[in-house]
Structure 1
């Protein structure tokens, strides 16, 4: 099977756009060049000057299957990812049952193999049932296909359990991926502790809930030598301690979410659960620190933390609704519109943070347009404005405050191993 994508543009190292054709053969990129003979190809797609990128890589999604399929399934979640230009995603293990044994992990993997339209890498938990202090079978779960180990959704509450987990992860040469949250500092908080939480009469979450556990874990990572990756960094204190740890030579990487880059707590208009996420939207100084952290290399990549919930669950007050926001279908578009078009980030940087770097830090053979590599790519229309429309979501869930926002960069085509995972109607 041979496919030609003609008249596309790729971003070069000097942030210039170069017109190219991409020759795809048997699921691989066979050549990148110009003026191939169209008659030699079974399928030809005219990109019409639109941007071609490596397939985006999202190291943080929740697909809810098994256990919560009314929120999302592996099929719908992977289709939503493809709709956003993602070709590789890494799925969290806060499922029911938790895939904390080889048998339960293999059951999830079987659904992925059957239903996913993009490459889905499944995380294994750190501890049994996520909440206990009993470690899982690290070696067995790695052999079963685990991408890394995480208790995302809850923080590992004791230093002893985290220390032992890091030793096991290091032994198996896989990363510990940490949702950092010291529950003793939560005080029933539901949004960032600040002026806005006081105005709304809602209990606040202090920044130290996140940053203090990161500080603890960084010292443990230094002790054990593990690759320690921090999920959804949200506070200026967290950025500071990670920056210092990198300078000290500790093997730490981290991610930030688009919603934390674009929104702050003062943007929350009312007590509405669609604005409730964990970590919460924080203050202006935190947002500034996150942007600076990306620009200076402290923060390594952008991830969505796509966390679907039903409308009934989210259409409540902050106190009653669950934490979480969907993000797969508009993440690139949000970052491009608010940071590239405004001159804060370059397009090259965004492609690096959303494709190249997440693949690099986890040793994945994806995330680049390379001859001989997998034909995982996305095409984006950077010139035409569109509106975020929840009626067009491929996710089962619509829990986002971004509905109605006007963005640029709509996804036109997503290919995984040369096969169409998403194609915009009419293209």
Structure 2
């Protein structure tokens, strides 16, 4: 099977747009650029991109696909289609499922669904502890052999320092990262949004910044003790950024991610009490938001991840005190980042692509995130010029719980290829 993408553009490290064609053969990239000879080649398909941007398939190390256990919110099939629509070709799914994939047998059952239904490449996290409780460690040796690339209790923090220490020691034996949702539950006090002037105005219980940052500080010291690769999920506070920056300078193997919604919005964007503004961690203060932007620019924050967290409409269409935490993000992430940061000159296009492809792949040693001769034809194509409104009617996800519905953006996905095959195409 031979396929040619014609009249596209790629971005180089100097942020220059370069006209380029891409020759795909048998699922691999055979040639890139304009100087290869295609005369006499019988292509099965030639796609004219009319100047659209070609990037490596995006990589998301933090998504929730809800299967098994919560398939009314999302399934591996619909979640992977949502990822493909957003330009993602490799995603990593969290283990807060029912049942939790905390044994080799349960983990294998999820893997079987992935192999059967996923339209993009899906890697499954294994949990740190049984049933996501802060007590008994899982069989990390067995789960590593079964294909677990990393361990996380995302959705809840590991509450016991001793448990986290033992988990880090065990994970280090098998060269597997510990990926942490950092949240000290003893500091929650029933909070549902950031503790600040907006929570006071709306009369809602707040979540302190220290709920996140204090557990990061604990874990970094444990990571230094054990030598494990410690990765922090969805960093949201200026204190967290400061602690991680200091730890990196001290030589601790700590990495972290940030979500588009925390980069773009703050508590001041919460206009009223509605579940679509409720996420964990919450939208923080404007100074926190600026610290996240600065952290990306200085390398403290390593990559961008969506924390795609679908919920049912009725669950989210209520007060924040009752709605579950989380918003969807797979289908909107690139367009939001391009519109809010590249168009405004805050980040370059090359930087955004790097944070959404190369960097997350490098952190977890994934075979993804680059366009290379002989490598897999995992590609995304974006049209950068046309303004469109984010419309939940078009979502591939089962859910549409996001405060960005109706927002006008640029950077629409036209085509996503996985191993050279169409995973998503506009209009199909």
Global fold match (TM > 0.5): yes
Aligned residue in 2 for 1:149: 151
Cα RMSD after superposing both structures:
0.8
CA offsets, 1:171-215, max 9 Å, x none? 010100000000000010000000000000000000000000000
SS at match of 1:327: coil
1:34 shift after superposition: 1.4
Counterpart contact for 2:134–2:159, Cα < 8 Å: no
- Give the whole-Å Cα distance in 1 for the aligned partners of 2:306 and 2:315: 20
- Give the whole-Å Cα distance in 2 for the aligned partners of 1:145 and 1:313: 33
* Cα 1:257/1:127, change in 2 over 3 Å: same
Instruction: Name which of 394, 397, 418 aligns with 2:396.
Output: 394
1:40 shift after superposition: 2.5
1:47 shift after superposition: 1.0
Superposed, which structure 2 residues align to 1:301-340 within 5 Å? 301-340=303-342
- Give the whole-Å Cα distance in 1 for the aligned partners of 2:144 and 2:369: 22
SS at match of 1:246: helix
1:147 shift after superposition: 1.8
Counterpart contact for 2:236–2:283, Cα < 8 Å: yes
SS at match of 2:159: coil
1:37 shift after superposition: 2.6
Paired positions, count = 426
Aligned residue in 2 for 1:122: 124
- Give the whole-Å Cα distance in 1 for the aligned partners of 2:298 and 2:195: 27
- Give the whole-Å Cα distance in 1 for the aligned partners of 2:333 and 2:360: 15
- Give the whole-Å Cα distance in 2 for the aligned partners of 1:43 and 1:146: 37
SS at match of 2:116: helix
- Give the whole-Å Cα distance in 1 for the aligned partners of 2:42 and 2:292: 48
Aligned residue in 2 for 1:193: 195
Q: Point out where structure 1 has 5 or more consecutive residues left out of the alignment.
A: none
Instruction: Name which of 173, 176, 180 aligns with 2:175.
Output: 173
Aligned residue in 2 for 1:37: 38
Q: Please state if 1:347 is matched with 2:349.
A: yes
Q: Please state if 1:248 is matched with 2:268.
A: no
Regions of 4+ moved over 6 Å: none
Q: Please state if 1:73 is matched with 2:75.
A: yes
1:266 shift after superposition: 1.0
SS at match of 1:105: helix
1:9 shift after superposition: 0.4
Superposed, which structure 2 residues align to 1:11-410 within 5 Å? 11-34=11-34, 36-37=37-38, 39-410=41-412
- Give the whole-Å Cα distance in 1 for the aligned partners of 2:361 and 2:398: 27
* Range moving further from structure 2, 35-44 or 95-104: 35-44
CA offsets, 1:212-234, max 9 Å, x none? 00000000000000000000000
Q: Please state if 1:417 is matched with 2:419.
A: yes
Q: TM-score, normalised by structure 1?
A: 0.99
* Range moving further from structure 2, 61-70 or 125-134: 125-134
- Give the whole-Å Cα distance in 1 for the aligned partners of 2:412 and 2:165: 43
Counterpart contact for 2:126–2:143, Cα < 8 Å: yes
Q: TM-score, normalised by structure 2?
A: 0.99
